[in-house]
Each structure stands twice: as C-alpha cells, then as structure tokens.
Amino acid sequence: MSGHSADKEFAGSIPEIYDTYLVPLIFESYATDLARRLAARRPGRVLEIAAGTGVLTRALATALPSSVDIVATDLNQPMLDRASSVGASRPVEWRQADAMALPFDDGSFDAVVCHFGAMFFPDKPRAFAQARRVLVPGGALLFNVWDRIEENEFAVTVTEALESLFPQDPPRFMARTPHGYCKSEMISQDLARAGFTGHPQIETLAARSRAASARIPAVAYCQGTPLRNEIESRDAVGLARATTLCADALARRYGTGAVDGKIQAHIVTVEA
C-alpha cells in the first residue's frame, strides 16, 4: 500500500492509540471550541462527518440541549467502533458513512460539523457539496483544519526526526495530509465549487499542546496516526526505533519533563 493510499487507513491498534494519546494532546480543546460555536447557532438536528473516535461528538453531547439530535458518522468502521464503545453523555446515532456520498435526504440537518476530517477527503468539493445538500436553507457547515505544519511544533519535530531516519524516502504524511489543506484561498474556492454562495468565515486559532513527557507525542504521532503505515512500509520492525528517535528529538527541543508546544488551526463557517 502506498503512503498516499494509506493516509486514510485508521485500523488495527491505531484507533485506540489515537484516542488515548492524540485526542487529549491536540484535539480536545478544538472540539470544545467547535461545539461552543455550534451551540450558539441553536440547531435542532446535527450531522457530524468524519467523527473519528468521537471527541467532538462527546463535546457536542455536552454542549447541546438533549432535545438536539446528533448523528455521528465516519468512513472508518474501526474508528467508529472505538467512538461508540466510549460513548457519549447522552444517546447519539453512530453510523458508518462516506462524507462524499451521504446516505441522508436533502435538507435533513440544521448543521453539519467536521472536526479535522476535511483534509482526508479525496474530493473536497464533492464532500462539501454533500454537506450543502443535506443542510436546510440557512443551515451551516462548520469545520476545522490544521494550519501549515510549521505552526504546529510537535508535528514538525516528529517529521524532521523521521527525515533523518529515512533520508532517501522520508515519511511525509503529516505535512502532506493533516497539514496539507491550510490555505484559506483553496478552502474558499472548494466551498464555492460545492455550491456555497456565501463567503466563508475563516478564523485562525492558536492553542497549546501539552503532555507529561516527550514520549507521549512521539507515540501519538508515530503509532496513533497513518504515519505508522508509512514507517512500517519502510521498516517492518522499525516502529519502536522510530518512536524512540522522535521522543528523543522532542525531549531535546522541549525538555525531558513535561512538554509544551504550539498548535494552530483554521475554523471555517459557511451557510447554505
């Protein structure tokens, strides 16, 4: 499997490691932010696409009144299995679905939300068009995407460390996919191609990523994302070595105790 085709491969032990290590490291604060923004719009029925292991779903279940229906979907059944096993504070409909071919009627939802999933859509305008189709008139699509990798300190440190381990063919998953859809002009163009006629609001929001040790972000990125697929495709038994190398690089840059690094993302809101 090539690195590009493996970019959407969240299987095996990845969902559990992702949920245990990566979610608290970089996702939770942005999930709380997105849920707060959505709650201010007072929706009646919400669709989440690319829900992953459910960090935003859980934030929505807390932030939204119990009368609001939440349908959480993801393409990867192993990620959805992890999300549903953890559950939420109230009932949620968990459903496997492809964001580019949503199995819902036109005008079914007041809002569609996506938490760091848009970067993985092979055809972004098509996915956005599906979101627009299932929205009621005046409904909103809210999503966030990571800013460029240079603005996300742990991610760039891991990427640079792996370049030294595999100089002839460095794993570029982090720069290519999670941090590869960061230009506001491109996002606006894709939304327009999807049929959104309103001008999107795009806000850049910086935050901090903290962990008790440098090894935590090393495990999170190397073993809890599809970066793992790239590492193992280059060295089938080298995952532990790569993880240790990244942990050492993080410790040199951020210290041998608790670590603290910048993260930055864009939050996008557009109305149908």
- List the CATH number of the domain containing 165: 3.40.50.150
Give pLDDT, residue 237.
84
Give pLDDT, residue 114.
98
Overall average pLDDT of the 174-184 stretch: 97
Give pLDDT, residue 173.
95
Q: How many CB atoms lie within 10 A of CB 97?
A: 20
Is the CB of residue 178 less than 8 Å from the CB of residue 119? yes
Q: Structurally, how many domains does the chain consist of?
A: 1
Of the CA atoms within 13 Å of residue 131, those in its CB half-sphere come to 37
Could you identify the residue written with the tokens 């670590």? 259
Q: Which domain holds residue 140?
A: 5-271
Pull the structure tokens for residue 147.
């800013």
Overall average pLDDT of the 227-252 stretch: 95
Q: What is the pLDDT of residues 78-101, one digit of tens each?
A: 999 999 999 999 999 999 999 999
Give pLDDT, residue 84.
94
Give pLDDT, residue 2.
38
Give pLDDT, residue 255.
96
Give pLDDT, residue 14.
83
d(CA 166, CA 243): 13
